[in-house]
Amino acid sequence: MAIRDISLVDRIKLLGILLFNIFIVGTLGFHLIEGWGMLDSFFMTLITVTTIGYGEIHPLSSSGKIFDIILIFMGVGTAAYSFVTATQVVVEGEVQRLLGRRRLDRKIMRLQGHYIICGNGRIGSLIWKEFHGAGKPFVVIDSDHSAITPLEMEDIPHILGDATQEETLIRAGIKRAKGLIATASSDAANVYIILIAKDLNPDIFVLARAETEDSIKNLKRAGADRVISPYLIGGRHMANIILKPTVVDFVELATGEKQDDFFIQMEGFKIKEDSVLIGNTLRESPIRKEIGLIVVAIKGKNGRMLFNPPADYMLSEGDVLVCIGEPSAFNAMKRLVSGERP
């Protein structure tokens, strides 16, 4: 097998072993042939292999000169190839990094209707993993290189930068984005992000994370459409596990947090303009009797939520039907709201 056919990592290991052996052979050779000390023998081997050219540290005998010639042929070529290989590692790594960054930038530039996640901390990382699993387009922004490293390893669209800077949000495609999630480590940073985002794209939906309950109002004043306090929600959820365990079990089952043999899910479906559902009542629609889903709520065009809608509710374009049932029925429901029959 030719050396070029060996992987770069294996070549580095092989060259390291060769250099180590050459230095051992050279040091022992000068020590045994010339009777020099180990330090002088190692130094002579070093200047011979690296071609520094200091000259002989002691006069060489004829046997020593012959050994030195052999060492030059053995060592100089190996040392030169080691330098070339090391340079190749650095250059290839840098080239691959630059090419990968350019490819990611092009990918981000092509995103339309995507989501921008500002911050890759504990909350932000959970969000993008859910988006990634659901196949939703997104890009993550963080100014901490250590927080970006996991995204680089998984080839996740990301930008290393400050989300409070206008140019960073523009790079992330803020004007083409559908939504922005502000999960920075401080409420002040989230306020700045929201203000800039709304200025660049007034129609964008902004979801913000609040560190404290008092900052919820400030984030809404800055333009956030929804504000979530993970600590507040977490506290309420823990209390409800004790106070309302059956209700919590049902919600976790419906949201996919609890994995049981009997698995149901809840999802919203927006009725498109070509849907056959338009003009029909819930009773007349095939949602329950053919698809097997239950409509637990309907969000109308006015944004109002109607829970437990009556059977004679007239369906219209733009209505969002919140349905619960087995995930296997969701594909049929998606076709139905889009204008196809299940």
Q: Where are the domains of the chain?
A: 3-104, 111-234, 262-338
Report the alpha-carbon distance of residue 104 to residue 70 in Å, rounded. Answer: 51
* Domain 111-234 belongs in CATH node 3.30.2040.10: no
- Work out the angle between the directed axes of helices 230-243 and 245-254 (0-180°, nearest 10): 120
| Pair 77, 62: CB distance under 8 Å | no
Q: Which residues of the chain have pLDDT under 70?
A: 1-9, 11, 53-54, 85-101, 254-263, 340-342
Which residues, in sequence order, are bridge partners of residue 298?
Answer: 306, 321
The 10 Å Cβ neighbour count of residue 100 is: 12
Provide the CATH topology of domain 3-104. Answer: Helix Hairpins (1.10.287)
Which residues, in sequence order, are bridge partners of residue 14?
Answer: none
The encoded tokens of residue 44 equal: 């002579």
CATH node for 262-338: 3.30.70.1450
| Pair 41, 30: CB distance under 8 Å | yes
- The pLDDT value recorded for residue 249 is 79
| Pair 271, 316: CB distance under 8 Å | yes
User: 3-104 and 262-338 share one CATH topology?
Assistant: no
The 10 Å Cβ neighbour count of residue 322 is: 18
The encoded tokens of residue 22 equal: 């050459």
pTM: predicted TM-score of the whole model, two decimal places: 0.58
- Cα angle 325, 244, 122; round to 5: 75
